[in-house]
């Protein structure tokens, strides 16, 4: 990447040296001050705020807040700012005596004179950022082994029995239990590929995507509400959730999976960028009207994007560099703000969704808008042209000076009625320093008169220029044409357009009904002084044009009318909450993250330590995200691939090879088995970034298939490497979905708007579970609307993320409140009843058979002798549903074996 080398030449110095007084003695007047007052905290031993002041290059390079000095500009130098400041948060030195006035003046003078540092004038700012930290290194090139089992040594414990194995892999890959038939088939299958076939079937199942999408959505705290106080529904978030499920099911290569979430709009995949805008965000009324608060809120919104990208894709806590250089990782503040600049055009809004059938529509819309712009340009060469579409009629003409404007209607589309208008606009011509403006408005001094308004209909001349449209503010002529309406402007000035409308509201509702009292022929007269009328536009509209020119104009106008009419249809279409991309804002490094303290401006770029790209500060919006997305799977690939395979490992084994899946930085955990992690990352890339192949590799391994697994070995560099795969509690989604699947109530419909199980009492964050569940309530949990903070009375206690902060792994707590919910919750009672019903239907009248069926459905095995006896007794005394209720609460049901 490019580095800015800062040299200081004598040529630049010359004029300054003249303007200031006598030269300073650096070694006597400057260096001792720096040594005495600054070096302790900003020297070789310590670099508070990432700043050193013990060399000229270091001063130029600066610290967290940009350059410390700007040679020649004392007032603009951060160093001067802090030594003169009296603000406790800013002033330097922070404690003890301040610099003397003489010392301050010397330093100012020194900087003003070019900050001459004898012997260092050719020194350049410190070399680029490098790091020896493991996760920033290239992937290992050679490996001692070439299969997972070889890496882990040969299997030491026997493979789990088939019922356990199929239950484990099915719950793990799909989040649903295997059916008794699937279990049976596998138990009986003599084929050596029996297990492999199961794995292939599961990876091909649509339920795989539903299961693994949730892991990803956790990290980026996807939800369907805005959070904070209003916490209202965010419309059209679901296409992103569906996109993630679909991408996983179709095994979209992981590099593209990343690319599309950053810049999917550039390849026609709109929902994917929903990734950028999942964070909770306060709405404008919750931010308030103070300008500083509004500015700060925007930076917070951008920071949330960095949190998402950093945690999920890079496995780095880039956000820590917002207020100062990252305390631990080689991420300077500059990098943070460069990343911010990449996303600085992203707004948390919806945009049109170009689905495959919608793509044509959007393309047509864009083409139409482009053609309209061309037409306007072409029509400008005529002294007069008319634009009549979408219920508004505009006469454009070469600017003319006028104070009085009169529109005389000569005919309407109805023989018996006079015309109607809801508004007439007279537009001042655009000129240097003058914006086009409707000067007819009463608020701008316009006065309207007419040949007579229909008073019996409540019509008034004031309706013509009151800015109000619609039936309560429509001027209706008292008689049939010819009639006129007139505007007297406040002052005579150059105008170039007159626009009128019949009834814009009515037009929007029904363009046909709008065709009553509609003017069809008119003339426009203007006067600079009262009474001195001259006709600006004749009824014939010839205005001195010959027939050929008039025909040419007519063709253009007709095309324009047609295109304008088609616009509104083209504009309506589905939308997706996937960010709106607007002109990027110029980003400065912010001192202490404070928008009120901007420092050096920065352009968009990637992390320097990972050879990040760098674009100019005025790079187009799309280019920024595209460059970033490409960088992720190219220069940053060693890191992104490691993060990806570790995430898969984490979910398959219960903990990752790196136990902090979203922090691969210096504070994060180190990989317990670095060679294995690198080998897996290399395999991911070699496999064309296929996630399914990685899943397959992992679940096919002996380690995964053993009844329980633990691995330990001595390590050259570290004490030991150990990890285990042991039973752990299912997460909320899997418990709920499994209950529904076994009770036979699971609705397997995929996709679409989230099913909302809550109702919002009053207008604020008071979501309560609905008493009567809506249609679709029994769909998989991933298809339920995720309402931030809402308590469903069942599963919130099972560590469902709050969706406020990024969440790479859930805790699996065990609490009495979980027990109460699962024992007594309405959901459990309903599903217990449904399961009882199901087994009665499926197993016939024989009670032991019914109980056996219940065990097969819930636990993938028949009951043992004692279990059957105990269950029979309970079924007889308290009903089958009581047995089912106990099964749903049992440890065996709730744990991934």
Partner 1 sequence: MNCTDHTKHLDRRSFLSNIATSAGGIALAQLLAREGLFAADEKPQPIRPNIDPGRPFGARKPHFPAKAEQVLIIFCAGAVSHLDTWDYKPELYKHHGKVPPNAPKVTFQGPIGNLAKPFWDFKPRGQSGKMISDLVPHLAELADDMCFIHSLTAKNSAHTQAENLLSTGFTFEGYPSLGAWTTYALGTLNENLPSFVAIADPRGRPQAGPNNWGSGFLPAAFQGTAFSADEPPQNLKTAMGVKESANKATVDLLAKLNGEHLEKHPGNTDLTARISSYELAGRMQSSIPGLMDIAGENVKTLEAYGATSSNVIKAEYARNCLLARRLLEQGVRVVQLFNGAYASGGKLNWDSHAEIVSSHGAHAEILDQPTAALLRDLKQRGQLDKTLVVWCTEFGRMPFMQANGTGRDHNIEGFTCWMMGAGVKPGISIGSTDELGWKAAEDVKTLYDFNATILHLLGLNHERLTHYFNGTERRLTDVHGHVIKDILA
- Chain positions 746 to 805 lying near partner 1, rule: CB under 8 A, are 761-762, 764-766, 788-789, 791, 793, 796-800, 802-805
Place of tokens 């009672």: 829
Interface characters, 694-733, with partner 1 (x: CB under 8 A):
------------------------x-------xxxx----
How near is the Cβ of 514 to partner 1 at its closest, in Å? 39
Q: Work out whether 560 is an interface residue with partner 1 (CB under 8 A).
A: no
CB–CB of 333/832 below 8 Å? no
How near is the Cβ of 611 to partner 1 at its closest, in Å? 17
Judged by beta carbon, residue 447 or residue 810, the one nearer partner 1 is: 810
Place of tokens 């992103």: 240
How near is the Cβ of 783 to partner 1 at its closest, in Å? 23
Structure tokens at 518: 């509609």
How near is the Cβ of 395 to partner 1 at its closest, in Å? 41
How near is the Cβ of 879 to partner 1 at its closest, in Å? 7
Structure tokens at 840: 């009665």
How near is the Cβ of 716 to partner 1 at its closest, in Å? 15
How near is the Cβ of 743 to partner 1 at its closest, in Å? 16
Interface characters, 173-212, with partner 1 (x: CB under 8 A):
----------------------------------------
Q: Looking only at residues 414 through 453 of this chain, which bind partner 1 when binding is defined by CB under 8 A?
A: none
How near is the Cβ of 873 to partner 1 at its closest, in Å? 9
Structure tokens at 812: 């699996």
Applying CB under 8 A, among 173, 183, 269, 320 the residue interacting with partner 1 is: 320
Give CA–CA dist 239/419, Å, rounded.
48
CB–CB of 477/396 below 8 Å? no
Region of 145-153, 190-198, 269-277, 883-891 interacting with partner 1 (CB under 8 A)? 883-891
Place of tokens 């027939």: 547
Judged by beta carbon, residue 136 or residue 275, the one nearer partner 1 is: 136
Distance, CA of 569 to chain centre = 28
Distance, CA of 75 to chain centre = 39
Judged by beta carbon, residue 282 or residue 399, the one nearer partner 1 is: 282
Give CA–CA dist 139/790, Å, rounded.
43
Interface characters, 467-506, with partner 1 (x: CB under 8 A):
----------------------------------------
Give CA–CA dist 655/837, Å, rounded.
39
Applying CB under 8 A, among 424, 629, 681, 894 the residue interacting with partner 1 is: 894
Question: What is the Cα gyration radius of the chain?
Answer: 36
Judged by beta carbon, residue 351 or residue 796, the one nearer partner 1 is: 796
Q: Total number of residues binding partner 1 (CB under 8 A)?
A: 109
How near is the Cβ of 821 to partner 1 at its closest, in Å? 5
Applying CB under 8 A, among 114, 280, 605, 754 the residue interacting with partner 1 is: 280
Give CA–CA dist 688/468, Å, rounded.
60
Judged by beta carbon, residue 134 or residue 427, the one nearer partner 1 is: 134
Nearest residue to 182 via CA among 860, 872, 880, 874: 860
- Element holding 722 (H helix, E strand): strand 720-725
CB–CB of 332/72 below 8 Å? no
How near is the Cβ of 66 to partner 1 at its closest, in Å? 18
Structure tokens at 427: 């537009």
Structure tokens at 622: 């799309």
Region of 592-600, 623-631, 845-853, 876-884 interacting with partner 1 (CB under 8 A)? 876-884
How near is the Cβ of 728 to partner 1 at its closest, in Å? 7
Question: What are the backbone angles phi and psi of residue 615, rounded to the nearest 5°?
Answer: -115, 155
Give CA–CA dist 413/518, Å, rounded.
6
How near is the Cβ of 163 to partner 1 at its closest, in Å? 13
Applying CB under 8 A, among 20, 24, 47, 109 the residue interacting with partner 1 is: 47
Q: Work out whether 229 is an interface residue with partner 1 (CB under 8 A).
A: yes
Q: Looking only at residues 117 through 146 of this chain, which bind partner 1 when binding is defined by CB under 8 A?
A: 131-133
Contacts of 888 (CB under 8 A, 6+ apart): 739, 822, 828, 831, 832, 835, 858
CB–CB of 742/858 below 8 Å? yes
Structure tokens at 525: 């007269």
Applying CB under 8 A, among 135, 260, 317, 633 the residue interacting with partner 1 is: 317
- Cα dihedral sign for 648, 651, 657, 662? positive
Region of 1-9, 321-329, 453-461, 554-562 interacting with partner 1 (CB under 8 A)? 321-329
Applying CB under 8 A, among 239, 264, 668, 754 the residue interacting with partner 1 is: 668
Give CA–CA dist 558/563, Å, rounded.
9
Interface characters, 286-315, with partner 1 (x: CB under 8 A):
xxxxxx-x------x------x---x----
Nearest residue to 574 via CA among 347, 271, 782, 243: 271
Contacts of 99 (CB under 8 A, 6+ apart): 33, 37, 83, 93, 107
Q: Work out whether 228 is an interface residue with partner 1 (CB under 8 A).
A: yes
Region of 361-369, 558-566, 695-703, 870-878 interacting with partner 1 (CB under 8 A)? 870-878
Region of 117-125, 282-290, 540-548, 589-597 interacting with partner 1 (CB under 8 A)? 282-290
Angle of CA points 839, 840, 841, to nearest 5° = 90
Bond into 482 cis (ω within 30): yes
Interface characters, 817-856, with partner 1 (x: CB under 8 A):
xxxxx-xxxx--x---------------------------
Q: Looking only at residues 670 through 699 of this chain, which bind partner 1 when binding is defined by CB under 8 A?
A: 670, 672
Q: Work out whether 878 is an interface residue with partner 1 (CB under 8 A).
A: yes
Neighbour tally for 286: CB within 10 Å: 13
């Amino acid at each position: 990447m490019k580095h800015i080398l800062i040299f200081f030449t004598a040529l630049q110095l010359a004029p300054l040296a003249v303007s200031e007084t006598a030269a300073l003695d650096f070694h006597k007047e400057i260096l001792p001050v720096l040594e005495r007052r600054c070096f302790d905290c900003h020297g070789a031993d310590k670099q508070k705020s990432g700043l050193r002041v013990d060399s000229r290059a270091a001063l130029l390079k600066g610290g967290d807040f940009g350059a410390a000095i700007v040679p020649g500009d004392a007032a603009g130098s951060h160093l001067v700012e802090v030594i003169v400041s009296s603000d406790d948060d800013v002033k330097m030195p922070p404690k003890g005596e301040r610099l003397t006035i003489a010392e301050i003046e010397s330093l100012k003078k020194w900087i003003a004179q070019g900050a001459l540092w004898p012997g260092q004038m050719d020194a350049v700012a410190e070399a680029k950022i490098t790091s020896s930290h493991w996760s920033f290194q290239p992937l290992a090139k050679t490996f001692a082994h070439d299969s997972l089992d070889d890496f882990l040594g040969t299997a030491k414990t026997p493979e789990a029995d088939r019922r356990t194995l199929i239950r484990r892999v099915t719950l793990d890959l799909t989040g649903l239990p295997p059916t008794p038939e699937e279990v049976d088939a596998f138990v009986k299958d003599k084929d050596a590929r029996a297990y492999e076939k199961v794995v292939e079937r599961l990876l091909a199942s649509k339920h795989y995507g539903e299961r693994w999408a949730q892991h990803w959505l956790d990290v980026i705290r996807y939800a369907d509400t805005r959070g904070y106080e209003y916490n209202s529904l965010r419309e059209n978030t679901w296409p992103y959730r569906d996109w993630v499920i679909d991408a996983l099911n179709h095994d979209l290569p992981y590099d593209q999976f990343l690319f599309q979430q950053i810049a999917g709009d550039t390849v026609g995949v709109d929902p994917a960028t929903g990734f950028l805008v999942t964070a909770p965000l306060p709405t404008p009324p919750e931010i308030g009207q103070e300008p500083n608060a509004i500015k700060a809120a925007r930076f917070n919104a951008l920071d949330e994007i960095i949190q998402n990208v950093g945690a999920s894709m890079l496995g780095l806590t880039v956000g820590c560099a917002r207020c100062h250089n990252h305390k631990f990782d080689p991420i300077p503040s500059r990098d943070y703000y460069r990343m911010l600049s990449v996303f600085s055009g992203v707004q948390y809004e919806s945009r049109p969704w170009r689905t495959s059938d919608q793509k044509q529509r959007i393309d047509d819309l864009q083409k139409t808008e482009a053609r309209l712009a061309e037409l306007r340009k072409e029509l400008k060469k005529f002294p007069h042209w008319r634009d009549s579409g979408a219920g508004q009629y505009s006469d454009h003409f070469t600017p003319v000076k006028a104070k009085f404007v009169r529109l005389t209607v000569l005919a309407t589309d109805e023989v018996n009625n006079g015309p109607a208008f809801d508004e007439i606009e007279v537009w001042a011509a655009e000129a240097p320093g003058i914006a086009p403006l409707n000067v007819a408005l009463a608020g701008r001094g316009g006065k309207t008169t007419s040949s007579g308004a229909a008073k019996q209909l409540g019509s008034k001349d004031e309706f013509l220029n009151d800015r109000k449209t619609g039936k309560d503010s429509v001027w209706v002529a008292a008689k049939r044409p010819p009639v006129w309406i007139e505007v007297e402007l406040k002052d005579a000035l150059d105008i170039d357009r007159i626009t009128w409308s019949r009834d814009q509201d009515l037009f929007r509702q029904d363009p046909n009904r709008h065709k009553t009292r509609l003017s069809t022929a008119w003339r426009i007269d203007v006067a600079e002084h009262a009474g001195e009328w001259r006709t600006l536009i004749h009824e014939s509209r010839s205005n001195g044009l010959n027939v050929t020119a008039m025909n040419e104009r007519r063709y253009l106008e007709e095309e324009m009318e047609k295109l304008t009419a088609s616009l509104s249809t083209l504009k309506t279409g589905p939308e997706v909450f996937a960010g709106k991309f607007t002109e990027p804002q110029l980003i400065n490094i912010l001192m202490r993250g404070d928008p009120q303290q901007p420092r050096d401006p920065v352009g968009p770029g990637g992390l320097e330590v990972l050879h990040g790209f760098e674009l100019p500060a005025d790079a187009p919006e799309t280019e920024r995200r595209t460059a970033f997305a490409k960088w992720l799977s190219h220069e940053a690939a060693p890191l992104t691939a490691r993060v990806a395979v570790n995430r898969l490992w984490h979910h398959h084994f219960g903990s990752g090879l790196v136990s902090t899946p979203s922090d691969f930085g210096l504070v994060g955990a180190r990989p317990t088995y670095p060679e294995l992690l690198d080998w897996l990352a290399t395999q991911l890339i070699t496999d064309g970034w296929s996630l399914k192949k990685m899943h397959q590799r992992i679940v096919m391994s002996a380690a995964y298939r053993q009844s329980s697994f633990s691995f330990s070995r001595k390590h050259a560099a570290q004490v030991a490497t150990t990890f285990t795969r042991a039973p752990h509690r299912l997460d909320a989604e899997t418990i709920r979905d499994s209950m529904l699947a076994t009770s036979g109530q699971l609705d397997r419909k995929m996709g679409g708007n989230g099913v909302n199980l809550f109702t919002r009492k009053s207008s604020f964050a008071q979501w309560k579970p609905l008493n009567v569940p809506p249609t679709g309530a029994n769909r998989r949990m991933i298809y339920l609307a995720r309402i931030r903070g809402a308590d469903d009375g069942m599963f919130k206690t099972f560590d469902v993320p709050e969706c406020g902060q990024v969440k790479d792994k859930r805790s699996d707590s065990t609490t009495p409140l979980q027990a109460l919910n699962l024992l007594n919750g309405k959901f459990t009672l309903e599903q217990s009843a449904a399961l009882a019903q199901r087994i009665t239907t499926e197993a016939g009248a024989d009670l032991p058979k019914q109980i056996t069926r219940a065990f097969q459905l819930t636990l993938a095995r028949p009951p043992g002798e004692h279990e059957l006896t105990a269950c029979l007794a309970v079924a007889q005394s308290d009903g089958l549903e009581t047995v089912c209720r106990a099964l749903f609460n049992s440890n065996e049901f709730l744990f991934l074996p």
